[in-house]
Structure 1
């Protein structure tokens, strides 16, 4: 596995605008009605807690330990990381949770597995094999699965191992009031062996024994 350097020294934010600098394309992505700004406004408004729609997916007393905007997680098979819109360490019922958040409004989840694996390089084969092993998925994967959901969930698992947390979680924080692209998330959950509903947690135990929570959390339209 090629080692990709990640940031180890982080600084606190003074408000939503501090999130802008971490975007791949700030001019395009930092706009009202787009997921990056909606997520920043939502998390900053939570004032040191989890946004309510995400907190309700976890049982017990919830405490946000830390949150990192646009957190990059290296994966095997290439230099391109999985960039979580938000990565958080959360305490819930005496468990620590590695939480990867994918924020959405109208943006799609990107290429399907079929599209991403066209003319696959050795690196892509290595990466998809790693993800399947980490998530307990047996190939061949359904071609309609969205690759982004796979690597974002793998990022939560990788960080759970790195931070030695008790659980992992991947949550789609969607500000779309029409729930756009929910069918893609439902297909992913089906591949993981579960059915899902809006604002309901889905629990999976990975082959490693690590409990994984998946969820679709509907964010408030006030942040659009």
Structure 2
């Protein structure tokens, strides 16, 4: 796969699943593109959260490159289309960060809603995700489905590039921290407490040290 470097935030629009619907002021796709493209690297607020984290191994993080709307293949069905894949580095390692932008959008349906019409494909995919995320036999009906496959995307990409670390980073532009409760409910599955403007972890999943982060920002 060969990627072409973006020259402006408008270059991100072409990669969206529904460009005419998603590329609007106040929506996460355009907000994220504006912030990251304009920063020419890791945005200031995101770097600040990394610098202040208790996770010493992540403090001096740098961005090597980023790929908007990065698709990670999952069993049976559509790929997980991540808003932004960042290959990052510290002074010890390189690792993938899957960045999920949010304003007023949710993290998709609850798992309990998603499985109402349980096809063989959905069953196989959910079993795969639960095994990868160490959630087999856990009650996840009230967890947002997108949080499962976005975290899985980070792990799969880490495995692909032989990285020992992976992260899912929620870059929120919501003044009211919309969907933070859903994020917190997911994090609680691993006996962790979600933090606004904070990074938590790691949890070892499929041989990878997995971290999660939430950054509250403005466009």
Which bracket does the TM-score occupy, shorter chain normalised? over 0.9
Q: Which residue of 1 aligns with 2:4?
A: 11
Cα 1:140–1:119 change in 2 (3 A) is: farther
**Could you list the runs of 5+ residues in structure 2 that have no partner in the other structure?**
none
TM-score scaled to structure 1, two decimals? Answer: 0.90
Equivalent pair of 2:16/2:22 in contact (CA under 8 Å): yes
Q: Which residue of 2 aligns with 1:151?
A: 149
3-state secondary structure, aligned to 2:34: helix
Q: Which residue of 1 aligns with 2:23?
A: 30
Give, in angstroms, the shift of residue 28 of structure 1.
1.2
3-state secondary structure, aligned to 2:152: helix
Q: Which residue of 2 aligns with 1:4?
A: none
1:70-127 Cα shifts (integer Å, max 9, x gaps): 011100122x010000011100231211111110001111100001111211111111
3-state secondary structure, aligned to 1:185: helix
Equivalent pair of 2:127/2:136 in contact (CA under 8 Å): no
1:46 maps to 2:39 = yes
After superposition, residues 13-162 of structure 1 pair within 5 angstroms as 13-47=6-40, 49-55=41-47, 56-57=49-50, 59-78=58-77, 80-162=78-160
Which shifted more, 140-149 or 58-67?
Answer: 58-67
Equivalent pair of 1:134/1:206 in contact (CA under 8 Å): no
State the alpha-carbon separation in 2 of the partners of residues 141 and 103 from structure 1. Answer: 26
1:185 maps to 2:177 = no
**Could you list the runs of 5+ residues in structure 1 that have no partner in the other structure?**
1-7
3-state secondary structure, aligned to 1:201: strand
Equivalent pair of 1:98/1:169 in contact (CA under 8 Å): yes
TM-score scaled to structure 2, two decimals? Answer: 0.92
Equivalent pair of 1:113/1:141 in contact (CA under 8 Å): no
Give, in angstroms, the shift of residue 207 of structure 1.
4.0
State the alpha-carbon separation in 1 of the partners of residues 21 and 76 from structure 2. Answer: 28
Give, in angstroms, the shift of residue 132 of structure 1.
1.2
Residues matched between the structures, number: 212
State the alpha-carbon separation in 2 of the partners of residues 128 and 19 from structure 1. Answer: 30
State the alpha-carbon separation in 2 of the partners of residues 63 and 181 from structure 1. Answer: 27
State the alpha-carbon separation in 2 of the partners of residues 125 and 152 from structure 1. Answer: 18
